[in-house]
């Protein structure tokens, strides 16, 4: 939580941004403008921040506010509105990064000028050169891992607060000629040339809007932190409140201690606040606090580049930029979007190079920052109020929400008008505000890019029954692979097993086919693209599962068993763990298996209920290693091809102390449950008795699938293999099994397709002694219609579940329902087909007996039976915030 708060505070860089923008309210209306504009404008900015916090809680994603359009806007407008918000947000982020780096360069050179007793005067070329160097340094820092960047922001907030307090105290103590309170709060003097004076006063709002902005920056790292739905909104609102109060106090102190405003506005270094420090504290104090402001703004720039790169990553994920696939990639060593980081560095440096030819132009680009950012927030806020599609998250404004939202939008409209007006009169080419020109130019480029073909590629839309070209390609490739490799799989494994062999021989016979799946990229496709794989949205996996199960079940389950085994690592792994453990699955060769090792011989369905034994597999920390003991069963792929373990096993266990007796009932099993990774290398490093396959049980259905009974006995693994620490294991397992429940729904669809195709073929080709084929019999046709309706309705629910998972608070309900409907409908459909075909269904020439066995085990897949899924849905119903309408139709 503190890291998130530090990140949010870093964005504003209060001490530095006030130091670099204090001149604007002074020019506009003097001391009173600076003080009252902070108080008035700050309230409007706080309303925007609170509104943004509310939306971020409901939709925590690295896309930030533009992503919320998918849920706040009517479906017909989603693509266009989302596109507009995304471009505005990206434009604001980029120009903010550019202006911040320019300001940092100015502060550094101001300190140098003070050190030379003003003998050195910075030039535009010097400023640009320093700016470019700073961008490179900040780009290198952003090339580090997220964890390393977190350390920067943790240390920053303490430094920032200390510097701010020290500056306030130093100025108040050392300034002998302080202005009176009457002067500070009532003196209005305009140097802008605008009349009437009250109108000139309004330009003082600009300083506040530049300081209190980029509200959703913390949301851009939401996918890199835990509990973003709570941490992000608290960080945003808390950081902006700190900036509001702290900025107002600092501004009051500056006006009290500034001396003659005309003198500091005409400072040769162009930095009024730096001049105030110099005048009041002398050369040493002036240099110290100017350098401190430089350090503060540098911290802010590190975070700004981080947030902007995550915005580029997010919009590229929705194909909103040219070369999106280049920017939407994660470096496997750092776990961060390095390409996007260096795009920010190069693009923003190029923006600032414009200052070499025309400072007025680059200043206009800087003006665009606050306008673009604020409207990228207020468009979703306004849509939230207008369309009533919002479903609040755990952090919300309650009854005050609508008032705060509308005030935020109204305030943004008001200050946007001021932003595009010239700051000084008379207006000349040198002081003209070109912000409106820049905005129109960027908007035109965005529209041209959209209508020239980007709208056809954009993934920014709700999933429906008309698949995108990418989704159609996934389905077609899956269908082709199934026809080429899976169709003959049963003839390979069915003859094997007792009495001439072992049950596991069936599983092992499919290793060559699995190698083909690896070579085809199907295993790499289980890993999301940002983590180095080629996997995309969940709907792609659902399409693949259906096509595979429509041809063959056992071989398909081995492939998707690996997908389930990788899920905990995808959900909870650190960048270091991703880089280490994903490697064998990304190489595209060999036959690496993964397994989620959960079920136990004594049962594990109620493993988190208080008073139950909990998981009996335990782990004890011994120095730098965990020692694992216990037995597991039914974990697909867990023994590997040779009984020496899968390449990667995610083992669910309880972490206990060394003094805990075996088999003891845990008083709090949920708080002890963890997940530890066990690799083949770990098993090989132990004695043979540390990992033993006790039995390969014969299965009913999916007869070639491997679900062995294994024993861990004193198995040692490195401490760094801890994936989900005690207490977080149940949450990771729940997410993994919720996602896999959707897959079970798709499996049911595939089995129903097989069933319908064979039953329809039989009905079209058999007369059973009648004059017409059986299809013409109403009772036969009715059964076929029932099977087809079940298949189509289950597919629809499964697709919706795939789209809703992780996007709405009650998206998990659809996943559970997809499993229930898919597994029950598959069993009923095969039974109907058997009734339809009659005694012929007993023949080995017909698949219905095998299909019934395959279908009948679907209800007990993914770590829980149908009863457990029904209880989970019941718990959702009992939730006080559950709304049937919103749960059904989404946000």
Does residue 825 carry a pLDDT above 90? Answer: yes
State the Cα–Cα distance between residues 221 and 218, nearest whole angstrom: 6
Lowest-confidence pick of 393-402, 482-491, 681-690, 854-863:
854-863
Contact predicate 291/115, CB 8 Å: no
The 3-state secondary structure of 744-781 reads HHHHHHHHHHHHHHHHHHHHHHCCCCCCCCHHHCHHHH
Number of domains the chain is built from: 3
Separation of alpha carbons 521 and 504, rounded Å: 26
Instruction: Look at the pTM and tell me if it is higher than 0.75.
Output: no
Alpha helices in 318-337 (DSSP H): 324-327
pLDDT at 595: 95
- Give the C-alpha separation, 358 to 438, whole Å: 14
pLDDT average, residue stretch 800-809:
72
* 464 belongs to a structural domain: no
What are residue 627's DSSP bridge partners? 620, 716
**240 and 196 both lie in a single domain:** yes
651 shares a domain with 779? no
Report the CATH number that the domain containing residue 494 is assigned in CATH. 2.40.110.10
Known catalytic residues are 862
Dihedral Cα 14, 116, 353, 85, nearest 10 deg: 0
**Percent above pLDDT 90 for the chain:** 29
The least confident of 374-378, 510-514, 565-569, 571-575 is: 374-378
Distance (Å, whole) CA 597 – CA 480: 31
Cβ 431 vs Cβ 35: under 8 Å: no
Q: Which two tokens stand for residue 545?
A: 């599962």
Mark whether 493 and 444 lie in a shared domain.
no
Lowest mean pLDDT among 65-74, 531-540, 668-677, 767-776: 65-74
Among candidate residues 668, 692, 726, the one where a domain is terminated: 726
Q: Which residues contact 94 (CB under 8 A, 6 or more apart)?
A: 308, 344, 347, 348, 351
Looking at the structure, tell me whether residues 421 and 562 fall in a common domain. Answer: no
The three state secondary structure string of 827-845 is: HHHHHHHHHHHHHHHHCCC
Q: Which of 45-49, 221-225, 540-544, 676-680 has the weakest average pLDDT?
A: 221-225
Collect contacts of 537-540 with beta carbons under 8 A, ≥24 apart: 537/459, 537/463, 537/802, 537/803, 538/739, 538/742, 538/802, 538/803, 538/805, 539/463, 539/471, 539/799, 539/802, 539/803, 540/470, 540/471, 540/474
The candidate with the shortest Cα–Cα distance to 102, out of 389, 440, 391, 369, is 369
Which domain, by its residues, includes 216?
1-456
CA–CA separation, 183 and 206 (whole Å) = 22
Asked if residue 675 and residue 537 are part of one domain, the reply reads yes
List 710's β-bridge partners, or say none.
632, 693
Q: Give CA–CA dist 552/542, Å, rounded.
A: 15
Average pLDDT over the chain, rounded to an integer: 83
Do 799 and 692 lie in one domain? The reply is no
What are the backbone dihedrals phi and psi of residue 562, each rounded to the nearest 5 degrees, phi first?
-65, -40
Helices (H), 509-629: 511-519, 538-549, 554-572, 575-581, 583-586
Cβ-proximal residues to 140 (8 Å cutoff; 6+ apart), any chain: none
Q: Is 290 within 8 Å of 107 (Cβ atoms)? A: yes
Give yes or no for residue 463 having a pLDDT over 50: no
SS (H, E, C) 231-288: HHHHHHHHHHHHHHHHHHHHHHHHHHHCCCHHHHHCCCCCCHHHHHHHHHHHHHHHHH
Cα separation, 564 vs 537, in Å, equals: 15
Q: What region, left, alpha or beta, does residue 623 occupy, with left being phi > 0 and alpha being psi -120 to 50 degrees?
A: left
20 falls within a domain? yes
450 and 594 belong to one structural domain: no
Residues 692 and 760 in one domain: no
Calculate mean pLDDT across residues 135-147. Answer: 83
Does the structure show a pLDDT above 70 at 702? yes
Final residue before a domain boundary, out of 422, 456, 490: 456
Q: Quick one: average pLDDT of 451-463?
A: 56
CATH number assigned to the domain comprising residue 332: 1.20.1740.10
Same domain? For 317 and 286 the reply is yes
pLDDT of residue 512: 94
Which of 676, 708, 726 is the endpoint of a domain?
Answer: 726
As given in the structure block, the two tokens for residue 281 are 């504290």
Q: 145, exposed or middle or buried, with CB in 10 Å at 0-12, 13-18, 19+? A: middle
Which of 209, 214, 265 is closest to 29 using CA atoms? 265
| Phi and psi angles of residue 422, each rounded to the nearest 5 degrees, phi first | -65, 140
pLDDT at 462: 44
The predicted-structure confidence for 724-765, as pLDDT tens digits, reads as follows: 999 889 889 888 888 888 999 999 999 999 999 999 999 999
Q: Is residue 462 part of a domain?
A: no
Count CA atoms closer than 13 A to 132's CA, side-chain side.
14
Query: Is residue 622, in this structure, part of any structural domain at all?
Result: yes
d(CA 707, CA 597): 10
Q: Answer whether the bond into residue 499 is a cis peptide, omega within 30°.
A: yes
Model pLDDT, residue 815: 86
Are 756 and 719 members of one domain?
no
Cβ partners under 8 Å of residue 41, min gap 6: 204, 205, 208, 209, 212, 415
Residues contacting 499, CB < 8 A, separation 6+: none
Encode 296-335: b = buried (16+ Cβ within 10 Å), e = exposed. bbbbbbbbbbbbbbbbbbbbbbbbbbeebeebbbbbeebb
How far apart CA 42 and CA 212 sit, in angstroms, is 7
H/E run at residue 621: strand 618-622
Could you report the per-residue pLDDT of 626-664, keeping only the tens digit for each?
999 999 998 999 999 999 999 999 999 999 887 776 656
Q: Give the integer Cα–Cα distance in Å for 277 and 390.
A: 48
Report the pLDDT value the prediction gives residue 464, as an integer from 0 to 100. 46
Could you read off the pLDDT of 172-230 as tens digits, one per residue?
A: 999 888 888 888 888 777 665 666 666 667 777 877 877 777 666 666 555 556 677 77
Same-domain pairing of 420 and 513: no
771: number of Cβ within 10 Å: 6
- Count of beta carbons in the 10 Å neighbourhood of residue 611: 11
User: How far is it, in rounded angstroms, from Cα 61 to Cα 335?
Assistant: 17
Nearest to 704 by CA among 562, 554, 512: 554
Domain match, 817 and 885 both: yes
CB 209 within 8 A of CB 45: yes
CATH of the domain at 775: 1.20.140.10
């Amino acid at each position: 939580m503190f890291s998130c708060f530090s990140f949010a505070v870093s964005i504003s860089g209060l001490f530095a941004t006030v130091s670099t923008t204090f001149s604007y309210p002074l020019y506009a209306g003097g001391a009173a403008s600076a003080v009252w504009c902070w108080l008035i404008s700050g309230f409007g900015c706080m309303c925007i921040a609170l509104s943004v916090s509310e939306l971020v809680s409901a939709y925590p994603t690295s896309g930030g506010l533009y992503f919320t359009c998918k849920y706040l806007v009517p479906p017909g407008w989603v693509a266009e509105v989302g596109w507009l918000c995304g471009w505005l947000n990206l434009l604001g982020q980029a120009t903010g990064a550019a202006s911040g780096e320019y300001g940092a360069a100015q502060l550094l050179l101001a300190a140098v000028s003070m050190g030379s007793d003003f003998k050195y005067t910075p030039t535009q070329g010097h400023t640009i050169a320093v700016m470019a160097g700073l961008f490179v340094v900040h780009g290198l820092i952003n090339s580090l891992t997220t964890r390393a960047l977190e350390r920067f922001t943790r240390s920053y907030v303490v430094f920032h607060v200390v510097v701010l307090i020290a500056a306030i105290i130093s100025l108040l103590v050392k300034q002998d000629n302080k202005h009176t309170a009457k002067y500070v709060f009532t003196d209005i003097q305009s140097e802008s040339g605008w009349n009437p004076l009250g109108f000139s006063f309004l330009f003082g709002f600009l300083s506040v809007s530049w300081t209190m902005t980029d509200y959703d920056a913390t949301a851009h790292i939401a996918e890199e932190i835990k509990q973003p739905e709570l941490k992000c909104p608290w960080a945003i609102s808390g950081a902006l409140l700190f900036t509001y109060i702290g900025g107002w106090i600092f501004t009051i102190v500056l006006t009290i201690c500034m001396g003659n405003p005309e003198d500091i506005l005409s400072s040769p270094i162009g930095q009024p606040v730096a001049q105030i420090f110099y005048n009041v504290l002398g050369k040493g104090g002036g240099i110290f606090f100017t350098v401190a402001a430089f350090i503060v703004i540098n911290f802010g720039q590190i975070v700004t580049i981080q947030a902007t790169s995550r915005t580029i990553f997010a919009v590229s994920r929705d194909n909103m930029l040219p070369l999106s696939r280049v920017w939407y990639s994660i470096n496997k060593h750092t776990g961060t979007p390095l390409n996007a980081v260096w795009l920010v560095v190069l693009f923003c440096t190029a923006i600032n190079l414009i200052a070499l030819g025309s400072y007025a132009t680059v200043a206009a680009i800087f003006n665009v920052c606050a306008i673009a950012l604020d409207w990228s927030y207020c468009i979703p806020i306004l849509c939230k109020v207008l369309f009533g599609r919002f479903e609040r998250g755990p952090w919300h404004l309650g009854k005050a929400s609508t008032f705060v939202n509308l005030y935020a939008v109204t305030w943004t409209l008001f200050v946007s008008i001021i932003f595009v007006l010239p700051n000084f009169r008379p207006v000349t080419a040198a002081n003209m505000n070109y912000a409106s020109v820049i905005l129109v130019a960027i908007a035109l480029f965005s529209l041209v890019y959209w209508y020239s073909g980007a709208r056809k590629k954009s993934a920014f839309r709700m999933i429906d029954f008309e698949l995108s070209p990418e989704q159609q390609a996934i389905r077609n490739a899956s269908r082709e692979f199934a026809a080429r490799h899976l169709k003959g799989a049963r003839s390979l494994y069915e003859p094997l097993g007792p009495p001439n062999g072992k049950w596991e021989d069936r599983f092992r016979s499919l290793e060559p086919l699995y190698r083909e799946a690896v070579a085809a990229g199907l295993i790499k496709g289980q890993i999301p693209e940002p983590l180095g794989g080629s996997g995309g949205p969940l709907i792609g996996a659902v399409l693949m599962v259906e096509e595979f199960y429509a041809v063959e079940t056992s071989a398909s389950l081995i492939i998707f068993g690996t997908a389930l085994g990788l899920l905990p690592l995808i959900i909870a792994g650190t960048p270091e763990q991703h880089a280490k453990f994903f490697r064998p699955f990304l190489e595209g060769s060999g036959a690496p298996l993964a397994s989620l090792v959960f079920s136990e011989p004594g049962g594990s369905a109620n493993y988190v209920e208080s008073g139950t034994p909990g998981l009996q597999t335990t782990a004890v920390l011994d120095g730098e290693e965990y020692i694992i003991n216990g037995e597991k069963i039914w974990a697909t792929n867990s023994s590997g091809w040779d009984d020496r373990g899968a390449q990667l096993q995610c083992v669910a266990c309880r972490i206990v102390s060394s003094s805990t007796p075996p088999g003891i009932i845990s008083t709090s099993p949920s708080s002890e449950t963890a997940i530890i990774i066990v690799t083949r290398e770990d098993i090989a490093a132990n004695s043979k008795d540390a990992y033993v396959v006790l039995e390969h049980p014969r299965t009913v259905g999916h007869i070639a699938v491997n679900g062995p009974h294994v024993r861990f006995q004193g198995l040692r693994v490195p401490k760094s293999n801890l994936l989900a620490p005690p207490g977080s294991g149940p949450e990771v397992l729940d997410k993994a099994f919720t996602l896999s429940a959707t897959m079970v729904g798709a499996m049911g669809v595939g089995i129903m397709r097989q069933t319908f195709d064979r039953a329809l073929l039989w009905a079209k080709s058999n007369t059973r002694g009648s004059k017409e084929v059986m299809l013409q019999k109403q009772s036969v046709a009715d059964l076929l219609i029932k099977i087809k309706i079940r298949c189509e309705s289950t597919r629809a629910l499964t697709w919706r579940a795939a789209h809703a998972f992780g996007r709405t608070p009650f998206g998990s309900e659809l996943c559970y329902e997809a499993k229930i409907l898919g597994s029950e409908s598959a069993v009923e459909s095969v039974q109907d087909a058997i009734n339809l075909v009659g005694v012929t269904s007993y023949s080995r020439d017909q698949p219905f007996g095998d299909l019934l066995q395959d279908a009948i085990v679907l209800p007990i897949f993914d770590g829980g039976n149908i009863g457990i899924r029904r209880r989970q849905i019941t718990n959702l119903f009992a939730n006080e915030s559950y709304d049937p309408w919103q749960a059904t139709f989404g946000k």
